[in-house]
């Protein structure tokens, strides 16, 4: 469970390490979009405020002239009109005309040249109306603010839509941008820049779109800017964000790697450890309970890190098996076993060497070829090899499994069922696979307590093994009472801490040679009379 949790943490760490780099564009796009939209909104709000101000200024000037003039089209009227124009911000002309548009007089005694671009429109809260017009020689459209008097006469003030020139607005537009001024009815007043559909482009993410209204006037201003154009102005910030993203990603990746190196989970280093022969064989002696002689050994493994730390197999075996690394790990162990025990196997010809195989080995008949390649020309003979099947994962009675077992039998090697009774085995399963040796798991041996006279589960396993004509090896024997009980039940082979733990090759060789004076052969196990006599 801890290993799986560590795997998840490392996977999440590796993914998070790339988030800053991947997020750079997203974050910068969001930053640019928010900042540029705010800037564009402020810009067109200023333009709409200017239009509203010009119209309000024209209304004020117009009302002042009407209020001051007792009659129109007199020198006094002209003087008041000129004064109002001089005192206003942007009023260009004041005109008196009849309802049909016939001009009576103006501030300067000229013919006022204008042409309507829109209908006369009411403004909420005002008695005046406005009309968008083309005024004199001005390129910029103008507003005609009109007050109707007595239903027969109209007095109007003319003011440009904006003080800014059309040329200036056009020059300040970026490539692909559009500035559009229109009445709220949809009638266009002024359109500058690209000719695009505002509503359609505003719905797309590749344009920045803003709009504003000129106060209570029925006039709206809309602005479109290609996002790519806005983004191009942030190249320096893009580089800065990218560098920062890389630094953060690098930091997160280093933390992940550091965690992986310090973690007890072997997923990061196991493959490299196998290549460097850091996975070392340890040898646990198998002792003859009757004679005290050495019967053989089980090859276990430890991960010896360069730091001197020794990692027990429980930490990495499950990962090795699930990831497929158990196969190259086993090959490495077998090669080391050949190097370690070749001399000893000649000095003790009856020595049995048990090597664990995993479920994955039995799905690949190549394991038989590997055994031949490693031990074929070595002093260790095939009949000294015992290959243990672990019960942690079920073996299917498939063609591949049977082929592997048959191939190993054909070489002269034996097959042992490890941890019998704790996993997926049953009588039919064991018999079908052709198992030669049954290894009783320590959980059953632990049931033997001082003074125990009967352990039904353990006794049943022993009886089952004898019925199948299988040799028996008891694992995890740690007390004299356990050894005596097992021996009394006809179990001759045992391994456990009462005899020795798993040893490095040097210590195991010393022990093996010391016990060589009391050798036990497998032929001894086939004599029931001797077993019964000794057990008694």
241-275: per-residue pLDDT in tens? Answer: 777 777 777 777 777 666 655 554 445 578 888 88
CATH of 273-535 given 3.20.20.450, 3.40.120.10, 3.20.20.10, 3.10.20.30: 3.20.20.450
**Residues 6 or more apart in contact with residue 144 via CB below 8 angstroms:** 114, 116, 130, 131, 132, 133, 135, 156, 157, 158
Contacts within 8 Å (CB) and 24+ apart, 304-308 = 304/278, 304/279, 304/280, 305/273, 305/278, 306/278
What's the mean pLDDT when you consider all of the chain?
Answer: 84
pLDDT band at residue 175 using 50, 70 and 90 as cut-offs:
confident
Quick check: 526 pLDDT over 60? no
**Residues 6 or more apart in contact with residue 489 via CB below 8 angstroms:** 458, 459, 462, 535
Quick check: 423 pLDDT over 80? no
Quick check: 419 pLDDT over 60? yes
The domain segmentation of the chain, as residue ranges, is 1-265, 273-535
What is the three-class DSSP state of 268? coil
Least confident of 259-268, 362-371, 398-407, 518-527: 518-527
Q: How is 214-242 classified by DSSP, letter by letter?
A: -TTSSEEEEEEEEHHHHHHTTHHHHHHHH
Task: Give the tokens for residue 344.
Answer: 């000893």
Percent of the chain with pLDDT strictly greater than 90: 49
């Amino acid at each position: 469970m801890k290993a799986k949790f560590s795997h998840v943490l490392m996977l999440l760490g590796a993914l998070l390490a790339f988030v800053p780099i991947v997020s750079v564009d997203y974050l910068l796009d969001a930053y640019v979009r928010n900042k540029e939209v705010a800037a564009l909104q402020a810009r067109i709000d200023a333009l709409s405020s200017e239009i509203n101000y010009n119209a309000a200024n024209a209304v004020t000037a117009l009302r002042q002239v009407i209020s001051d003039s007792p009659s129109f089209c007199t020198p006094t009227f002209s003087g008041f009109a000129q004064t109002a124009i001089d005192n206003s911000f942007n009023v260009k002309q004041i005109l008196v005309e009849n309802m049909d548009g016939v001009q009576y007089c103006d501030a300067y005694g000229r013919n006022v040249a204008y042409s309507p671009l829109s209908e006369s429109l009411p403004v909420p809260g005002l008695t005046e109306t406005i009309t968008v017009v083309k005024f004199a020689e001005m390129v910029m459209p103008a507003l005609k603010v009109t007050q109707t008097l007595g239903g027969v006469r109209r007095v109007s003030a003319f003011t440009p839509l904006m003080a800014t020139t059309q040329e200036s607005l056009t020059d300040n537009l970026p490539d692909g941008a559009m500035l559009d001024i229109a009445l709220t009815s949809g009638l266009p007043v002024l359109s500058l820049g690209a000719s695009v559909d505002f509503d359609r482009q505003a719905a797309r993410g590749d344009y920045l779109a803003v709009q504003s209204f000129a106060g209570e006037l029925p006039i709206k201003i809309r602005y479109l800017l290609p996002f790519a154009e806005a983004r191009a102005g942030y190249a320096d910030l893009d580089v800065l964000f990218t560098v920062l993203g890389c630094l953060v990603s690098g930091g997160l990746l280093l933390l992940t790697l550091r965690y992986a190196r310090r973690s007890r989970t072997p997923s990061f280093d196991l493959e490299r450890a196998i290549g460097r022969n850091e996975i070392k064989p340890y040898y646990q002696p198998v002792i003859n309970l009757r004679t005290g002689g050495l019967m053989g050994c089980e090859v276990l493994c430890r991960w010896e890190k360069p730091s001197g730390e020794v990692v027990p197999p429980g930490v990495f075996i499950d990962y090795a098996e699930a990831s497929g690394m158990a196969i190259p790990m086993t090959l490495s162990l077998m090669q080391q076993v050949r190097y370690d025990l070749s001399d000893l196997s000649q000095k003790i010809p009856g020595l049995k060497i048990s090597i664990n195989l995993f479920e994955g080995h039995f799905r690949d008949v190549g394991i038989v070829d590997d055994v031949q390649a490693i031990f074929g020309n070595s002093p260790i003979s095939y009949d000294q090899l015992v290959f243990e099947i672990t019960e942690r994962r079920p073996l299917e009675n498939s063609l591949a499994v049977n082929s592997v077992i048959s191939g190993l039998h054909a070489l002269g090697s034996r097959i042992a069922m490890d941890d019998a009774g704790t996993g997926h085995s049953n009588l039919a399963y064991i018999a079908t696979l052709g198992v030669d040796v049954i290894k009783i798991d320590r959980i059953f041996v632990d049931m033997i307590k001082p003074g125990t006279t009967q352990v039904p589960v353990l006794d049943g396993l022993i009886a089952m093994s004898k019925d199948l004509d299988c040799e028996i090896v008891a694992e995890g024997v740690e007390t004299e009472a356990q050894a005596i009980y097992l021996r009394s039940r006809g179990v001759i082979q045992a391994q456990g801490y009462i005899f020795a733990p798993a040893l490095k090759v040097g210590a195991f060789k010393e022990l093996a040679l010391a016990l060589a004076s009391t050798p036990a052969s497998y032929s001894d196990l086939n004599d029931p009379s001797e077993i019964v006599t000794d057990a008694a």
